[in-house]
Structure 1
């Protein structure tokens, strides 16, 4: 007789890698859609009359849309299911991507990029919840953190595609923006075969369907979880109740502080490279692609370290190293330093930032229970995108008014604040079941109540 095991105890299999591919489409598309506009803007500026403010709006519109997409999409994911939202979201993204080809006015593009941002923002909590609920406990951090790496693949791919499309001519920017429809349609078709999350089904009282999916995928001697998934009604305010409010504050804070400088720097990285003296025709675009591919070097050790040493130390030290790297870049930006020196600092910053970004997927999905996992993940992602849009919108104005050095100092200071937040608030969830991880704050509350009761009795 075979031993009964849970989904979280199962070893990595082909199925888990397939689910990773479904979920990683979210980060790939985010990186691609954000990146392609950076190249398109450089072409558009020669054809359309755009102020610095309008350029900032176009760059930030997608990120601003992600606020609403995350907040609404995460809640709908918990209400109607992971798979259904995945498909609806991809359909919207495909339509809007194609419509970008036909814009005749910068404001039209702002509106479309905002809608596109809503769709991208909604995809994040869907992907995170689904990957989390199928992952083995001992590999969950690596699988979730690995999703972050596909953002850089998408971002680098956008610069390569944009560079190749520069030869099209005046309408090149239209083809660049519409090109996101290709990976979107591929992802839409591939997601048709994915299963619904058994944990979500059980949380809605559909245990028979949940068990059928588990046994179909893993076999008859595998159950969903050692701890039963109780039927729960999804209410938005639950993410702030029962001790989860503190977790929302922590995740929102460190997530926002991580992405604010990330998007501010990466959206305009070709211009930043040019100011460092590396502009030569259009090679700064290829340079941006190469730098983002190199950033992935930081992901593999991060995925190992997050499982070996835990979530907390790998987040804290990543913030610290990123902060110092940008401070040094700011101090040397006007000194005509050797290319290898500047590249090394960008690589150090980027690789540690990639590792740090993995936690933006791990913590939101481990710290909250199934019935509000998508809601909490969507809320924290949405609010973090406000920080992203702020960084994207103000970066060109700050660079134009105060110079690159000051811009990098500001980004370094933001990351140092993230270091302090993580130092005082980051919990440890390594090797915990989802039930244990999502009950961390409750456990602390119980311990505090017990201590208070003992003190009163004495």
Structure 2
């Protein structure tokens, strides 16, 4: 590998040494290792929308009962996100990441054996526990290794793996689920792949250097930093000393960690990011979990609705690509707000398109909604870990995600009554208003483009 000039001095901290490195193959392996787990998460969440659409026919179950299946998963995600963030600050990012993948991968496989809505509901809750804990932990780990100048872009690229997984869910929904009455079972069995991936993740990913330093494990932290420097062709400075205090010597109480999120210097950003997370979760999951079922209700055959959903889902990838570019060009806050406002307009167009029955309008508006909505998700995941110091980063990201998941519990439950009230136009008008509220919250967040993680 081509050599680069020495960037470090003995007095430079390990965090600064990581921040100043070029992006290397070791960064790529970390991003890919975390991203595949992220994609498998999306595969699992996306599959449930197609499963619900088929079960409403094969089990002759009404929409309100099936809405609880989706909400049970989100209830588990709310609890999992809060606990996962706390455990990540206590036990390490990598360990929690691997454990949560294992939990929800096994539970997804068991979901394929469900014989009733009640059993499926319980297993989806367990799936949610693992899934909810994994996402904020993965984004925290990646953000703590990414070079400062491209940190936002790297985290958006990580979030883009969500689109890969959701497209995979749409492909399974289109090719596997309609093949037989048990097609949904085979699809869920495929979704159990994270249980195998978890073992590889545990063995290959490095632990966060910032976490190791906070835990007093300086030798391990130094080894990891030097491995990244060697990969980049950057000379390492003399080994740093420092005993530090092990995080386990005096573990902070849960109450103290949560109180830390509302310290005077963090209170406003915590409330703002919670508002954005809640609004985005409500509108996104309300729309996309029910998308195949809404198209079936609009008069399209099951297979055709799955086909349209697959096409609409493909627009998520360019949305992430645009967001990855703009978070370092415009900054996190403006990018997030613009994509949320674009989501609002697209939602309204889609709602009226579903009533008109115009396939062109449904697909065009749906693709715009995918583009803007998932671009907003990328910017949100980029900004969330940045606004908290290392000791609270996992907790802050986890609780923001947890608050969002609480909103996502209500989202699937709200769809049937809103559809009964005024059909798709009223439903998607509500989602549009919620996206606008999220955009207001985005403008209350600090702009940290190019800033070092505290």
Normalised by the length of structure 1, the TM-score is 0.88
Whether 1:407 and 2:411 are equivalent positions in the alignment is: no
For 1:426 and 1:369, locate their aligned partners in 2 and report how far apart those are by CA, in whole Å: 15
Kept in 1, the 8 Å contact 2:37–2:101? The answer is: no
Q: 2:12 corresponds to which residue?
A: none
Quote the offset at 1:93 in angstroms. 1.9
Once the two structures are superposed, residues 320-345 of structure 1 have per-residue CA deviations (whole angstroms, 9 ceiling, x without a partner) of 222122223334543344x3333222
Further displaced range: 20-29 or 54-63? 20-29
Q: 2:190 corresponds to which residue?
A: 179
Q: 1:378 corresponds to which residue?
A: 398
Further displaced range: 198-207 or 211-220? 211-220
Q: 1:163 corresponds to which residue?
A: 174
Q: 1:340 corresponds to which residue?
A: 360
Quote the offset at 1:98 in angstroms. 2.0
Aligned CA distance change for structure 1 residues 328 and 93 (closer, same or farther; 3 Å): closer
Counterpart of 1:188 (choices 184, 199, 205) is: 199
For 1:38 and 1:16, locate their aligned partners in 2 and report how far apart those are by CA, in whole Å: 33
Total equivalences in the alignment: 431
Whether 1:297 and 2:318 are equivalent positions in the alignment is: yes
Counterpart of 2:450 (choices 427, 431, 434) is: 431
Kept in 1, the 8 Å contact 2:281–2:404? The answer is: yes
For 1:22 and 1:108, locate their aligned partners in 2 and report how far apart those are by CA, in whole Å: 32
For 1:332 and 1:129, locate their aligned partners in 2 and report how far apart those are by CA, in whole Å: 39
Kept in 1, the 8 Å contact 2:281–2:408? The answer is: yes
For 1:379 and 1:331, locate their aligned partners in 2 and report how far apart those are by CA, in whole Å: 35
Aligned CA distance change for structure 1 residues 93 and 315 (closer, same or farther; 3 Å): same
Alignment partner of 1:287: what SS? helix
Q: 1:44 corresponds to which residue?
A: 55
Quote the offset at 1:131 in angstroms. 0.2
Q: 2:18 corresponds to which residue?
A: 7
Kept in 2, the 8 Å contact 1:239–1:245? The answer is: yes
Alignment partner of 1:362: what SS? helix
Aligned CA distance change for structure 1 residues 283 and 329 (closer, same or farther; 3 Å): closer
For 2:29 and 2:371, locate their aligned partners in 1 and report how far apart those are by CA, in whole Å: 26
Quote the offset at 1:174 in angstroms. 1.7
Kept in 2, the 8 Å contact 1:295–1:351? The answer is: yes
Once the two structures are superposed, residues 287-331 of structure 1 have per-residue CA deviations (whole angstroms, 9 ceiling, x without a partner) of 212211122111112111110121121112222222122223334
Aligned CA distance change for structure 1 residues 326 and 95 (closer, same or farther; 3 Å): closer
Counterpart of 1:323 (choices 334, 340, 344) is: 344
Q: 1:266 corresponds to which residue?
A: 288
Cα-Cα RMSD: 2.5
Whether 1:360 and 2:374 are equivalent positions in the alignment is: no
Q: 2:308 corresponds to which residue?
A: 287
Aligned CA distance change for structure 1 residues 25 and 191 (closer, same or farther; 3 Å): farther
Alignment partner of 1:432: what SS? coil
For 1:319 and 1:390, locate their aligned partners in 2 and report how far apart those are by CA, in whole Å: 20
For 1:42 and 1:263, locate their aligned partners in 2 and report how far apart those are by CA, in whole Å: 15
Once the two structures are superposed, residues 404-458 of structure 1 have per-residue CA deviations (whole angstroms, 9 ceiling, x without a partner) of 11101111111111222223x02211111112xxxxxxxxxxxxxxxxxxxxxxx
Q: 2:270 corresponds to which residue?
A: 248
Further displaced range: 342-351 or 255-264? 342-351
Q: 1:221 corresponds to which residue?
A: 235
Q: 2:13 corresponds to which residue?
A: none
Aligned CA distance change for structure 1 residues 336 and 153 (closer, same or farther; 3 Å): same
Q: 1:310 corresponds to which residue?
A: 331
Q: 2:134 corresponds to which residue?
A: 123
Kept in 2, the 8 Å contact 1:61–1:114? The answer is: yes
Once the two structures are superposed, residues 233-261 of structure 1 have per-residue CA deviations (whole angstroms, 9 ceiling, x without a partner) of 54422222242222211111112111211
5+ residue gaps, structure 1:
436-458
Quote the offset at 1:31 in angstroms. 1.7
For 1:223 and 1:140, locate their aligned partners in 2 and report how far apart those are by CA, in whole Å: 24
For 1:170 and 1:229, locate their aligned partners in 2 and report how far apart those are by CA, in whole Å: 61
Further displaced range: 321-330 or 98-107? 321-330
Q: 1:111 corresponds to which residue?
A: 122
Kept in 2, the 8 Å contact 1:77–1:125? The answer is: no
Q: 2:209 corresponds to which residue?
A: 198
Once the two structures are superposed, residues 199-231 of structure 1 have per-residue CA deviations (whole angstroms, 9 ceiling, x without a partner) of 10001122222111111232373479x9x9975
For 1:185 and 1:394, locate their aligned partners in 2 and report how far apart those are by CA, in whole Å: 35
Alignment partner of 2:446: what SS? coil
Further displaced range: 87-96 or 302-311? 87-96
Kept in 1, the 8 Å contact 2:348–2:428? The answer is: yes
